[in-house]
Structure 1
Amino acid sequence: MISLARSLTALAVIAAALCLLSPVDGNAQGTGAAIDIGLTAEERAWIASNPEVSVAYDPFYAPYSFIGTKGAITGLAPELFTRIAELTGLKFSAAPVRDWQDILDKARARKIDVVATIVETEERGKFLSFTTAFLPTPLVIMARTGDYGILGPDTLSGKTVALVRGYSSTDRVLYDHPDIITRYVDSPLEALQDVSVGRADAYVGVVGVNAYLARHHGLANLRIASEYELESSIQGFGVRPDRPLLRSILQKAIESFGDIEQTEAYRRWVPLLQTVVEETSSTPFELTQGEEQWLRDHGPIRIGTNVNWAPMDYTDANGTPEGIGAGFIRAVDRRLGGVIEIVPGPWPEIYAAAEAGELDGVAGISPTAERERIFRFTEPYIRIPHVIFAPVDMQRLPSLDALWDKRVAIEEGFFLGKLIERRFPKAEILRYGSTNEALTAVSKGEADAYVGNRAVANYAIHALLIGNLKEHGTISETSSVNAFGFPRQNEKLRDIFQKALDSITVRERRSISGAWVAPEREQVPFTLTPAEREWLLRHPTIRVAGDREYAPIEFIGEDGTYQGLAPDYLRKLSELLDVNFVYDTKSDWDEALRKLENRELDIASAAAATDSRRRYADFTAPYLRLPVMIFGRRGGFFAADLGDLENRTVAVVRGYAATEYLLEQHPEISFVPVSTVAAGAELLLSGHVDAYVGSILTTSHAIREDGMNALMVTGKTPFSVNLSIAVRKDWPIFTNILRRAINHLSSAERTAIVNKWIGLRIKEPLDFRLMLQISLAAFIVLALAAAGIWTLWRRTRAQAAELVQRNEALAEESRSRLAAQHIAERTNLEKDHLLANVSHELRTPLNAIVGYTELLFAKFAKEPTGGKISEYLSALKMAGGQLQTIVQDLLEMTVKPGDVELREESVPLDKLFSNVKSLLDVADGPDSPIVSWPDPLPFVVTGDMQRLSQVLLNLLGNALKFSPPGSEITVSTQLQSDGDLEIRVKDRGIGIAPELLDEVMAPFVRGEDPFVRASQGSGLGLSISKSFIEAHGGALGLESMKGRGTTAVIRLPKSRVARIAA
Structure 2
Amino acid sequence: MDLLLGTAENAAMTTERHVSFQSAASDRRRAARAFLVMGLVWLFLAQAVLADDKRPDLLTPAERAWLDAHPRILLGVGAEWAPWVIPVGEGRIAGFAVDHLRLLGEKLGIEIGLASGPWHEMVAAAEERRLDGLTLAAPLSDRGDRFLFTENFHTVHLFLYLRDGDPLPPPGLAGLNGRRVGYLREVLRERKLLEGQASIEAVALPSQAALAEALLTGVVDAAIGSYALEYWRASNGVLGFGPKRMLSEGPARLGISIRKDWPELVGILDKGLAAITAEESAVLNRRWFGRADGFSGGSTPTGLSAEEKRWIADHPVLRVGIDPTWAPIEFFDEQRRPQGISVAYIRLVAERLGLRLEFVEARSWAAAVAQFHRRQLDLLPAVAATPSRRQRFDLTEPYVSFPAAIFAAADVAYLGGIEALQGKVVAVIESEAVHDWLREQEPEIQLLPVADTPAALRAVARGDAFAFVGNLAVTSYYIGASGLTEIKVLGETPFVYRLGMAVHRDEPMLAAILQKGLDAIPRYERDAIYNDWISIRYRVEADWGLLLRVAAGSALLLAIVGWWAFSLSREVGRRRRAEAALAELSRGLDQALAERTHELAGANVRLRRLAVDLSLSDEAARARLAGELHDSPMQKLALAQIQVESAARDPDDAETAEMLGAGQTLLSEAIAELRTLQFDLSPPVLARQGLAAALAWLAESTEARWGIRMASAVDPDLPQPRHEVSVILFQCARELVYNLIKHARASHGAIRLQSRGGDLELIVEDNGIGFDPNAAQPLPRPDGGFGLHRVRERLDLIEAELSVEPSAPGTRMRIRVPGDRMD
Q: TM-score, normalised by structure 2?
A: 0.43
Larger radius of gyration: 2
